A and B are shown apart, each in its own frame.
With several copies, the nearest count.
Chain A
Amino acid sequence: MVNILYFASFREMLGQANEQLPAKHTTVSELLAELASRGDHWKVALEDNVNLQIAVNQDIASRETAIKAGDEVAFFPPVTGG
């Protein structure tokens, strides 16, 4: 399984903070494609979002980053701390 986390406005838009999906994707892009297949709502928020921020195992990552079973993949908007 892959553990997926959504933060801030993403969590609110998508109506969930986290979920687990079978680990059948080799990259973040493939995972995003699966999530986009759920409908426009998901596609616009994540796959089509040029400001999408990604972390894999709590390190900043990109759509090309490889993922495997047990990984934690997080999606969030640009950060605004400080």
Chain B
Amino acid sequence: MADFPFIKVQREDFDLTTEVAKLRAGHKNIGAVVSFVGTVRDINEGDEVSVLELEHYPGMTEKALEKIRLEAHDRWALESSMIIHRIGKMLPSDQIVLVAVSSRHRENAFHAAHFIMDYLKTNAPFWKKETLPDGEVRWVDSRVSDKEAEQRWTK
């Protein structure tokens, strides 16, 4: 069993191939790897976005992400999983978040990765602030659709 950090909150970008290799290392019976990468869109709420800034609650963030990750392992038979979430300033097209999950069979990896993202969206203490081309700065509103997505997983 590989012993790498399963949760990372970092300013630096990440490389998908490198991270998936870490996820898979030491697990010989993996048949499926599902990865989700969230990226900065150039348009939000109809407005062009120049810069996105991510703030978080250090300490609680890691705790919340690990809780979500372990909940996924409780619900599905997984081989390994990881979450990387960036903080600080990002530009359109930049990678924000990676969720990667491996399992023997694909069904579990698909469900678990989707579940982790839906829970992360409503339970991990991150906040986005966006800067528009005219210099306006605004906090991004939470989406009702994210709360609904989370509730679909209620047992």
Contact = CB atoms under 8 A, between A and B. Distances in A.
Interface in A41-80: 51, 55, 58-60, 74, 76-80
B128 A55 contact: no
Interface stretch (A2-10, A23-31, A32-40): A2-10
Of A7, A77, A81, the most chain B CB neighbours within 10 A belong to A81
A7 B59 contact: no
Contacts of B60: 55, 58-59, 74
A77 B85 contact: no
A15 interface: no
Number of chain A interface residues as a range: 10 to 19
Contacts, number: 73
Interface string B73-115: 0000000000001000000000011000000001000000000
A81 B61 CA distance: 10
A76 B96 contact: no
A82 interface: yes
A74 B54 CA distance: 18
B97 A76 contact: no
Of B56, B63, B96, B142, the most chain A CB neighbours within 10 A belong to B142
Contacts of A78: 122, 142
Contacts of B34: none
Contact of B139 (A9, A55, A58, A82): A9
A76 B117 contact: no
Interface in B103-155: 106, 117, 120-129, 139-142
A82 B96 contact: yes
B4 interface: no
A80 B126 contact: yes
Nearest to B129: A8
Nearest to B124: A81
B139 A8 contact: yes
Given A77-B142, A81-B97, A58 B127 contact: no
Nearest first, the 4 A-B pairs at minimum CB distance are: A81-B126, A78-B142, A8-B127, A58-B60
Interface of A: 5, 7-9, 51, 55, 58-60, 74, 76-82
5 contacts: A60-B123, A74-B57, A76-B57, A77-B142, A80-B142
